[in-house]
Structure 1
Amino acid sequence: MGLLDRRLLKTLDLPLIALVMVLMACGLVLISVAVRARGMLDLVEKQAVFAVAGLATMLAVTLWVDYRTLPRVQWYLYGAATAGLAAMLVVAPEINGCRCWIQAGPVSLQPAEFVKPILILVLADRLARHEDRPWTWLDLVPVGAMVAPLALLVLKQPDLGTVLVFFGITGGMLLMAGYPVWRLFGLATAGLAAATGLVWAQLRFPDKISLLEPHQLMRLVVFINPYNDGQNGLGAGYHVLQSRLAVGNGRLFGQGLTGTSQTATSFLPEPQTDFIFAVAAETLGFVGITLLVLLLLALLLRALHDTTQAGDTYGMLLGAGVVSMLATHFIINAGMTVGLMPITGLPLPFISYGGSNLLTNCISLGLLMSAYARRHKILF
């Protein structure tokens, strides 16, 4: 490691790194609880490997990647991401109705995850170039031109959850860039109204309109009423009903790590990924899940602190994109667990099983800390 890197070690955000490590440890414990009854404890070992690799990657990005050099390569990365997503529609096998994964040796990777930090890079550079003048609706055109190709390709897989994260990233970065809140609110309201209208139209005229896949449409239907799945809650509504039951079983102090529960008896579907928040609520109870939420909030607040300390607008917007990405994952995952949001399959950051998401989060935080570590000229 060179002299410059040794100096950068003194500027590392140790509290943020510690929070990441604590959350990873919590994730390993909860994953072991989730998969024990299914005899899949090998997933815990895989996640531990991903965690070590993620921490190493996060530190490497922080120390060796100067965020100020990234605009030189961002469009190469964007082009590769677009081409990769297009290729996924052709070469990726269909798994659970989605062409989202590719096999890389013993592990499956989800390329769309790694597109998120690339989107953050191009948006940060574009928004940082905005001159000191009033924002207009036309300023959204280049932003939309960057987001739309990636969103459409991912939606074609189909992966609605990742598209929602793209929108969360974009909204958070626009807000940090100074775009008027009332316009963002109006845009979000109009988008929600349009989406609601399209869903209604597809339900009303299924033979003429097919924007959403059948399973995606059913997830929206059971979000309103889990028993309205044609099987009295034993079909598409089963997931959210079992998740709610698991959360309720936790009560105040939880069932414990070895307690008899929805998780232990394998009633809760996908407990190690989509519904790890329900596993935490059932295992740890209200007290435990509150502490876990506080840890996640502490991570977001610390990352936001680092964002505001960046030495330039580009670094600040870079951090805003990372915080927005993590916050969107957290809000949607927790919300769908208790039925406040439709099921989208988004993992809980640093907690859910999944190497692609864990590595993406670590790379993204590495970029954020790269800006934080270089906020001042190093003179010592």
Structure 2
Amino acid sequence: MFQKSVIGFRWKSRIAVWQQVDWLLLAVTVGLTVFGGVMIRSAELNQGLTDWWQHWLIGAIGLAIALFISRSRYENLLEWHWIIYGLTNLSLIAVIVIGSSAKGAQRWISIGGFNLQPSEFAKVGVMITLAAILHTHTASTLPAFGKALAITAVPWLLVFIQPDLGTSLVFGAITLGMLYWANANPGWLLLLVSPIVSAILFNVFLPSWFIWAVIVGAVAWFSLPWSWYGAVGAVIANFASGELGHIFWGLLKDYQKDRLILFLDPQKDPLGGGYHLIQSRIAIGAGGFWGKGLNQGSQTQLNFIPEQHTDFIFSAIGEELGFIGCLAVLLVFWLLCWRLIIIAQTSKENFGSLLAIGVLSMIVFQVIVNIGMTIGLAPVTGIPLPWVSYGRSALLTNFIAIGIVESVANYRHRLKF
């Protein structure tokens, strides 16, 4: 009897370490990975490539890592966050010094024949560091708000000069989402992004810039502690950003300029920068309501769409699975985001909650931009569709992020919801 009770106790203790894991969240990410492999295989069917099974292999490795992380206490990251931050920046510097280049960007480090993209893993490093900083001092004061921005600015700049515009935008989305969750004044967040809006409006339609400047000045007046100086300073900063827009525009590569403007009218360069978007629209439109069927899409199977197994995987989904398939994918991502919000709300403290919101911000931004660029509502920025697009570093990063969130869920207080 004693031996049976000991065995029973051991089994209960083994089960207990998994009791609070959000299995639905984990199942959704695994399902998206499997689905991604199926669509990658379809996109490469006539090319003889094997990226689809590599996608599944890396996904299996990522799942194992996520399960391991989910059993580890995420609070331990608080003690290591500065080391993680330092390693993140060192890896990004290493890319600039010894990294491999492709398509005008230097983003990869080759280790044993495996190309690693440090900027992908840097997303997790930034989340951990920001969550640790905002855990102790929320962003409700300007000094804490400025400190969080200063910490994020270093890896963001290192990614931007690679150049990797897409990932630098993801950094911005993560930062804004976490600052908002950390009680930052919404007016400060608007002032933070206002120079970007001004740079666009100033160079596109000047009268709209004047209206925007008035709005920014009013926001600064009501949200900053020094109303008059803040309002004047905000207007001057937005005016200066319009002129600086010309300078930053000159720093961008030609292919980056094409990606930023050709989505508005891809017919200006139908055989060049606008080709991706034109073919993507044709593919998605041809899919209709039910789609042409798996492995049956003409645009997909005849390889009209470049990079259709990575950045433009949603085009293959639209053509072969139609509106219903696209809607199903969006609903799955909605379910994933809902689970992340639940975990953030039920975390036992700010650190875990901020980690969950950081992952949520990353996923939401990537999904919106990736799908938006395939249908012509956003510039082509090279941002993959999480768990579906082929990309080994991105897939591992996503599973690591989910593993951290699962650890937050696993070690929260026992709650019923």
Return the TM-score normalized by structure 2: 0.83
Mapped to 2, the partners of 1:37 and 1:53 lie a distance apart of 27
Residues 370, 260 of structure 1: alpha-carbon distance in 2 compared, 3 angstrom cutoff: closer
Partner of 1:215: 255
Residue 62 of structure 1 is aligned with which of 48, 58, 70?
70
Residues 203, 142 of structure 1: alpha-carbon distance in 2 compared, 3 angstrom cutoff: closer
Matched, 1:172 2:160: no
Matched, 1:154 2:133: no
Q: CA deviation at 1:77?
A: 1.2
Mapped to 2, the partners of 1:327 and 1:309 lie a distance apart of 20
Q: CA deviation at 1:300?
A: 1.0
SS of aligned partner of 1:125: helix
Partner of 1:96: 103
Kept in 2: contact 1:113–1:360 (CA 8 A): yes
Show CA shifts across 1:326-367 (max 9, x none): 111111101111111101101101100111111101111111
Matched, 1:304 2:312: no
Residues 253, 181 of structure 1: alpha-carbon distance in 2 compared, 3 angstrom cutoff: same
Residue 408 of structure 2 is aligned with which of 371, 374, 378?
371
Matched, 1:127 2:134: yes
Residues 99, 204 of structure 1: alpha-carbon distance in 2 compared, 3 angstrom cutoff: closer
Q: CA deviation at 1:248?
A: 0.5
Partner of 1:35: 44
Residues 91, 254 of structure 1: alpha-carbon distance in 2 compared, 3 angstrom cutoff: same
SS of aligned partner of 2:379: coil
Kept in 2: contact 1:34–1:264 (CA 8 A): yes
Residue 314 of structure 2 is aligned with which of 277, 280, 283?
277
Q: CA deviation at 1:197?
A: 5.2
Kept in 2: contact 1:202–1:211 (CA 8 A): no
Q: CA deviation at 1:66?
A: 1.0
Matched, 1:24 2:33: yes
Kept in 1: contact 2:288–2:322 (CA 8 A): yes
Residues 195, 111 of structure 1: alpha-carbon distance in 2 compared, 3 angstrom cutoff: farther
Residues 180, 203 of structure 1: alpha-carbon distance in 2 compared, 3 angstrom cutoff: closer
Residue 286 of structure 1 is aligned with which of 299, 306, 323?
323
Q: CA deviation at 1:2?
A: 10
SS of aligned partner of 2:387: coil
SS of aligned partner of 1:108: strand
Mapped to 2, the partners of 1:89 and 1:3 lie a distance apart of 50
Partner of 2:146: 141
- The share of aligned pairs that are identical, in percent, is 36
Q: CA deviation at 1:205?
A: 7.7
Relative to total residues, which structure has the larger helix share, 1 or 2?
2
Kept in 2: contact 1:221–1:228 (CA 8 A): no
Larger-gyration structure (1/2):
2
Partner of 1:315: 352
1:227-238 alignment, distance < 5 Å: 227-229=267-269, 233-238=270-275
Kept in 2: contact 1:226–1:240 (CA 8 A): yes
Give unmatched runs, 5+ long, in structure 1.
none
Partner amino acid for 2:412? R
Mapped to 2, the partners of 1:160 and 1:87 lie a distance apart of 18
Residues 184, 201 of structure 1: alpha-carbon distance in 2 compared, 3 angstrom cutoff: closer
Partner amino acid for 1:119? V
If asked which structure has higher relative contact order (CA below 8 Å, sep 6+), I would say 1
SS of aligned partner of 2:52: helix
Q: CA deviation at 1:202?
A: 8.7
